[in-house]
Amino acid sequence: MPENIEKFLNRVAEAAEKSALVKMTLSKPADKRDDLRNVYVKPVLIKEKRLFAFTYHYERRDEVKNYDAAQMLGTLREMLPSRFQNAVLFTVSEDVTLLVSSKGKATIQTKQVQENREQNLEHDKQKNRLINPANPWWYQLGLTTREGKITADMQHKFKQIYKYAEIVESLIKPMKFNGTVHIADMGAGKGYLTFALHELLTQRLQMEVDIKGVEIRPDLVLKINEIIKADGLKGLEFVESSIEAYHPEKLDVLIALHACNTATDDAIASGIKAGAELIVCAPCCHKQIRQEMERSGRFDAITRYGIFLERQAVMITDTIRALILEYFGYKTQVMEFIEMEHTPKNVLLVGRKTSKNAKDPKIAQQIADLKARYGIESHYLETALGLKF
């Protein structure tokens, strides 16, 4: 490596060590056909750790990666001068410019600055976005154009995805995990929410994750895994399996959104058995309880009407699910997932594992009383857990 490039890297290392590095830019691609146009570097403070955020500006998208000082220098060594021929280091006291000619000759220019400069360790505005539609996977999933613009027919879907990201961030951010967070997204479907979860946790919350999207349709699993591989996304994989048959060795967070029929109950049972710290479900399908209520013939002034019977079956199904979670020591919460004009399935059931003793007989009695009142022989979640209240 040319001597002046080594000198430049030494200046960068010194500025980083002395907390004097304000920002840095890499420009003038060595290969004009390179899709990566420039790189912007700035120091950031994440979880009380000083890192360096690299914003990679591609032709139609941006990517942000955070490195420690050693990784930063290693990355600069790989890029100078093989990918970029110009670099400018801005410190609190001077500007240091590296210029590499087409023949490989490197020169350094130094300029003292008069103004008072300070480091800004806050995240860039782009980092504060929960979901960035410019990321390539959103185009590959069919939600945006190549330029990162959300298509007209996907506006409602992206709104739902963003709302989901807001809720999940509020649930996960206060929690304490040790090391890699193991997550299963049951019935992941086309992957919209699974990719949103990965983007949120890795790019915004800077978490190490192992996310498995569980999906029974092999064509979807193959397609999504190809997108994951093409975009180099780490800690994300789709697995071909039914919800009932999927039994992860380690599980910290279980998510099941609109899993059909009794698959919601299979997912909740899987999370309980694995001791997941957080269970998040948007319950779907309440036919099993409605059929039980109809068979019993125990109609009251409300349930004698079909439409009200349906709504009552929904409430009873999800209430028993919440109570069973509480029976196993989870603190439950029911909230609105998304506005009614976008989907009628707008309830989100959340269970956070607590330290309190499980299997409270008072909760068991509440479940038994509710079943007896409406002539319910058994809730499917009981069966999935091998219980009988």
366-389 per-position pLDDT tens digit:
999 999 888 888 898 998 998 888
Give residues with Cβ within 8 angstroms of 372, minimum separation 6.
Answer: none
Fold assignment, 127-385: Rossmann fold (3.40.50)
Q: What is the pLDDT of residues 277-316, one digit of tens each?
A: 999 998 776 777 777 777 777 666 666 666 777 788 888 8
Q: What is the pLDDT of residue 130?
A: 83
- For residues 258 and 190, is the Cβ–Cβ distance under 8 A? no
Q: What is the spatial distance between Cα 45 and Cα 50, in angstroms, rounded to a whole number?
A: 5
pLDDT, position 197:
95
323 in Cβ contact with 363 (< 8 Å): yes
pTM for the model stands at 0.65
- Mean pLDDT of the chain, nearest integer: 87
- Ordered by start, the domain boundaries in the chain are 3-121, 127-385
Residues of the chain above pLDDT 70, percent:
89
306-327 vs 361-373: helix crossing angle, rounded to 10: 170
Instruction: Check whether 61 has a pLDDT greater than 90.
Output: no
Measured between alpha carbons, how far is 67 from 21 in angstroms, rounded to an integer? 14
pLDDT-derived band at 127, boundaries 50, 70, 90: very low
